[in-house]
Chain A
């Protein structure tokens, strides 16, 4: 019996903890799916008939166009930067990732502020040339506006993944096509796009998942989508069960995207079959061509980073005296606190599961890894619904206990930071996990095996050997998760304790109260911290190809 032999290998703290973590992650999502089929909801029939079709239409349109434009912008920039040399290319190479530092909702209200009646463009036209414009041309608060913002601030997902692919994998194919006499456009459409299909699909699915996760932008722009509908039914109609059904519907869409991604990517993986790959050697562009390439990159960089960033700085100088107060300091400390605790716990959990997964190449360990990654695909509002349901049940269950220890019986856990941090862990575990897994892949299992052959068990080996060797991926994973929690909006808005604000929620609140100038200081802090992190990562990644 192989089972008996296998048991000693599995009987350790790592597999036990991994199992617990996986169950904790699955629980909220399962609750949603089960409730979808069992519980009755008072407003569901109404929602199905009058709201759902709109939600599906809006969500579908936004995803379709954002996806298309993100592919267009992302791949064209990736190709330009990988295959050609032109002025300031080195700068654009990493600067074009910077738009990711600006969360879409911040970009959204900034652009609205630039374009509206009191914004810089219209006032300049009015005051200097006495031109009054048709307001409808300058109204960005609609579905096309949302697509524009999503495209500009999410395309870097497509750009980075495609660029990494092109830089390391495409050299021989592209050079062959050049030798066979094809011009640049033909190569782009006939070679580059088809061979990078896997990378593009990977990047665009990230974009779409971010779109589904967004709450702040679509709410501000007045485009109803699933996230806003979940908020509305839950808090507006006070109908948690309908919110759960909406969340479940959204989850089905996410699963559809994930399955589609697998199918579209086919058997093509990012890595090529040959172990040795040369980097693509860029061609030097001359004359007008060089300036066209430069202008295109500059245009996108300005639209997607520079213009909104400068506008925010301008607003910040108008208002910082009013905003910078002890209250603001507490915002910063709140943000840093939850991001720090969240990121630290994510890394601990990620290490536990990754260590378990690499020790056992079995079905169980592979599923554990899949589940870990799943959380990142589930939109924040859905996770919030699921985790609230569980915590409210848990509080009811602990009711007697609260009474026994003399606490005022209440929804203690559901209104504490505990629930918020748990939600962060579920949503961002994937980011920490990927980082740790890559680290483990790099060192392989040989050091661990060597240590065990010298008589140290798994746990001692982990602390004495493994942990020291994955220090760098551990720290970089931590920073990535930290930044993501710092920017996070929907989960924080729903699950934060009463009167608990972070930089992101405060910026959002100011903006939705039409105090756009006041929102800028918090926004700038988020953007600058994220921007610095992105810069560091780009530099680190450049030094270590693959």
Chain B
């Protein structure tokens, strides 16, 4: 398995209850997974744990055979090689689009950097916008730049946190098919979080449902899109 999450537990601060409670998930290479659930179900927290922005209290995460965290190890977020598209994009307001995209390419040589930035800009159809600043772009354009920035360093895994929550409804439908196309073109393994079932159905190969902050027996509720389009929730325990 490309991504393996085993028995993951996490609680915020001093709260006694686990936000993430014995969560298991395995993902194959190239798969697009949607984590689906109501607000407060802990779906965004799973992403933050995966990329190392939060430290789990228990459990193991490995990506492509390398252990990211277990009882004795913890790899810092900047060392994990994971790309992330934030809910409100978090484009650096003091940098142009091009500078934003090249930000993560410090290991590339100068010419490679330019080339790679052009590549991803073309991938998201934003070639003409390199010199603009984030505030000069529309919401949909900002999202594409955020995606391009996350993809530029060629991460092994792409995480998207509520990618459509800041877009209006009309734009949402157009962009989600675009998004799937772009992700499929790169062949990158992706996990995105959404509270909207329609989004999940449109993009994901497989949908994982979370509820009440606890993880459910995911195998029984996760379905492969093609095999079983009707989704059903199965209560755990």
Which A residues are closer than 8 A to B by beta carbons? 1-2, 4-9, 361, 446-447, 449-457, 461, 464-465, 468-469
Contacts and interface: CB of A to CB of B under 8 A. Distances in A.
B83 interface: yes
Given A2-B57, A361-B13, A449-B90, A454 B103 contact: yes
B179 to A, nearest CB: 18
Contacts of A464: 103
B77 A5 contact: no
B128 to A, nearest CB: 23
Given A5-B74, A8-B76, A9-B74, A455 B57 contact: no
B86 A446 contact: yes
A455 B113 CA distance: 15
Given A4-B71, A451-B103, A457 B53 contact: no
A452 B94 contact: no
Interface residues of B, number: 35
Instruction: Give the residue among A2, A451, A453, A464 with the most B Cβ atoms within 10 A.
Output: A453
Contacts of A1: 71-72
Contacts, number: 81
B86 to A, nearest CB: 6
B94 A455 contact: no
Contacts of B77: 449, 452-453
Contacts of A450: 84, 86, 90-92
Interface string B26-63: 00000000000000000000000001010111100000
B78 interface: yes
B142 interface: no
Interface in B72-112: 72-79, 81-84, 86, 88, 90-94, 103-104, 106-107
B149 interface: yes
Contacts of B73: 4-5
Contacts of A452: 53, 76-78
B55 A5 contact: yes
Per DSSP, chain B at the interface is loop
Contact of A449 (B13, B86, B149): B86
B55 A447 contact: no
A16 to B, nearest CB: 16
Nearest to B58: A2
Contact of B55 (A6, A449, A457, A468): A6
Interface string B1-38: 00000000000010000000000000000000000000
Nearest to A465: B92
Nearest to A444: B90
A6 B75 CA distance: 10
User: Would you list the 4 A-B pairs with minimal beta carbon distance, nearest first?
Assistant: A454-B104, A450-B90, A446-B90, A5-B74
Interface in B147-171: 149-150, 153
Contacts of A449: 53, 77, 84, 86, 90
Contacts of A454: 78, 83, 103-104, 149-150, 153
Contacts of A465: 92
20 contacts: A4-B72, A6-B74, A8-B76, A9-B76, A446-B86, A446-B88, A447-B90, A449-B53, A449-B90, A450-B84, A450-B91, A453-B77, A454-B78, A454-B104, A454-B149, A456-B104, A456-B106, A457-B78, A461-B78, A468-B94
Contacts of A6: 55, 74
B24 to A, nearest CB: 19
Contact of A5 (B56, B82, B93): B56
A2 B55 contact: yes
A507 B94 CA distance: 45
B74 A453 contact: no
Nearest to B56: A5
Interface of B: 13, 51, 53, 55-58, 69, 71-79, 81-84, 86, 88, 90-94, 103-104, 106-107, 149-150, 153
Contact of B104 (A8, A455, A457, A468): A455
Given A452-B77, A456-B78, A468-B94, 18 more contacts: A2-B57, A4-B71, A4-B74, A6-B55, A8-B74, A8-B76, A9-B74, A446-B88, A449-B90, A450-B86, A453-B51, A453-B78, A454-B153, A455-B104, A455-B107, A465-B92, A469-B93, A469-B94
A357 to B, nearest CB: 14
Contacts of B72: 1, 4
B83 A453 contact: yes
Contacts of B90: 446-447, 449-450
B193 to A, nearest CB: 15
Nearest to A457: B78
Instruction: Give the residue among A1, A451, A452, A456 with the most B Cβ atoms within 10 A.
Output: A452
A26 to B, nearest CB: 24
Given A2-B57, A4-B71, A457 B76 contact: yes
A447 B84 CA distance: 12
A455 B92 contact: no
Contacts of A5: 55-56, 69, 71, 73-74
Contacts of B103: 451, 454, 456, 464
A450 to B, nearest CB: 4
A2 B57 CA distance: 5
A8 B74 CA distance: 7
A442 to B, nearest CB: 12
B116 to A, nearest CB: 13
B95 to A, nearest CB: 9
Contacts of B76: 8-9, 452, 457
A464 B92 CA distance: 10
A478 B13 CA distance: 33
A334 B75 CA distance: 50
A455 B69 contact: no
Nearest to B82: A453
Instruction: Give the residue among B13, B71, B78, B107 with the most A Cβ atoms within 10 A.
Output: B78
A465 B74 CA distance: 24
A9 to B, nearest CB: 6
A464 B103 CA distance: 9
A298 B13 CA distance: 51
A2 B11 CA distance: 12
Nearest to B91: A450
A449 to B, nearest CB: 6
A361 B58 CA distance: 19
B133 to A, nearest CB: 13
Contact of B81 (A361, A455, A461, A469): A455
A1 B69 CA distance: 11
A508 B83 CA distance: 61
